Structure 1
Amino acid sequence: MDQSLLQAVQALAQARDVALGGNVTDEPVDWEIEACSTTVFRSYTLYRVVRWVKWMYETWYLGWTPGQDPYWLEGDPVSFLNMAQADGVCLESVAAIWEYAEWYLVITQHQHYWDEFLLIESVDQARFLDDIDADMTPLEIWRKETFKEQYRSRIGQPSLFQFQQTTALEVFALHGRNLELHHLLLDRSGYLSHTRTVLETDLPLAVAGYGSRSLISGYIWHKY
């Protein structure tokens, strides 16, 4: 591992802890720093950072390139967009637009280490309490069955609507125990606006927490 990368991660993590009013731990810390597979950034590399203290861990993302300011990406849309601007992102293809939007959502919607944020394309990707052998009340069972019946035909692959230089995107996500529909409008420079609609709350989902990821296998492209 590049020692300057590790030193940048350690310094940023320490500054974060102090800013949040926490104490810098005296416990041994183990770091897992892995470059993410992405082709949309030109000069910056996107890293997934995991900090282990005893049996507890936290996950963040970092935009880093030697000799330039690093970007600590922890549920912060502004930092993500600033990194994209510094990188000079140019989204020339629909595939690049989707990949960029996917990373934006996975990174910026992970607000707390106990969070779980999943981009989904099927109701069958939702894990309920009884899927992990936990007991469910009759009301929770009814909510599960109603959810699957109501959304089976509605939840699908993300839809991208492209008109000239602008792309609108809609994608479903499970955030904690809520079902959300995320709406993004973006251009080739990486600038975007983002809103979300909460469709369901307090679903009896089995929430593991500690991360975010995408379960999307493809998307539907509509060009006008």
Structure 2
Amino acid sequence: MDFKGSDTIPGPRTEDHLPQTAQAAVKIVIVGGFGVGKTTMVGSVSEIRPLTTEETMTQAGVGVDDNYGSESKTATTVAMDFGRISITEQLVLYLFGTPGQERFWFLWNGLFEGALGAVVLIDTRRLEVSFDVIGRLEERGVPFVIAVNSFPDAPRYPVADLRAALDLAEEIPIIDCDARRRASSRDVLMTLLRFLHSLARAKAPT
């Protein structure tokens, strides 16, 4: 999914410094397999100019990176993507997009440190690339939601079928999204925040 086709925020992006009204900053990670739209999501929703670490794909990745469904992709994230969005005047989210290729997964541990929650972007044409991603989050105890990114030729499945295929607990939200659209990406983040709030309330002493 090409970031160049993403929504852009009208006018110049804000300065990199936090708004003076900000009282809390939360780290969120955007994870998923290769080419599912992580860079696109961070770029579409960030209120600052996103930091990307994309490099041109070369022959070295042939036979190593699975680019099924992303054959036209010419660049790939090799470290992380970074963006920021203010949810309210007081609450700011820092967004960290992880590299999708398995050979760069050793970087994930550092990116997961201090993360309050995660968005798992999936492509229904290749659900299998999400299994290890979800497993790593479960091992680390990082709460997450599933965002089904919209690709024109991707099959659509009932939520119950996706939940069964991904072996997800009933309470984990699954939401459709278009990572190119700022409003859609923001809806995903709001779904995650509501899920995190529900988990916190469930753990609170009565």
Same fold (TM over 0.5): no
- Rg bigger for which structure? 1
Taking structure 1 as the reference length, what is the TM-score of the superposition?
A: 0.25
**Which structure: greater helix fraction?**
2
Taking structure 2 as the reference length, what is the TM-score of the superposition?
A: 0.27
Q: Highest relative contact order (Cα 8 Å, sep 6+), 1 or 2?
A: 2
